[in-house]
Amino acid sequence: MTRIRIVAGSVTLEAELEDTPTARAILDALPCESSASTWGDEVYFEVGVDAKLEPDARQVVDPGTVCYWVQGKSLAIPFGPTPVSQGDECRLVTRVNVVGRTLGDPTLLRSVRDGDAIRVEVER
């Protein structure tokens, strides 16, 4: 697994990316800068990567899962319920490719606001 660092507004989170086709494409695109969007308890942002939906794509994930949203060409990190969740689950708007997991407390992302600058880089 490869570690990345995500800096969003005043929040810094580390994450581990799995060895999947989508995760490898994301690593090839790093470092990247984007601007944050929020949707319920989810932060997402464009990363400029083209990928196809993988066979194990899913819509409901654990808090802190690093997801790739194919239609939005974005990384999405849910940390609680979204507008389409049933109960307390982390449900994304569509099925997504799971590419990794945040290390530490993903609820720190609650302080990120729409438009905040985000930088993603490989942890050295």
What is the count of structural domains for the chain? 1
pLDDT over threshold 90, residue 124: no
Q: Is the pTM of this model over 0.75?
A: yes
Domain that holds residue 26: 2-122
pLDDT digits (tens, 9 = 90+) for 62-116: 999 999 999 999 999 999 999 999 999 999 999 999 999 999 999 999 999 999 9
Query: What confidence tens digit (pLDDT) does each residue in 8-28 have?
Result: 989 999 999 999 999 999 999
Residue entry with tokens 């729409």? 114
The domain spanning residue 8 has which CATH number? Answer: 2.40.100.20
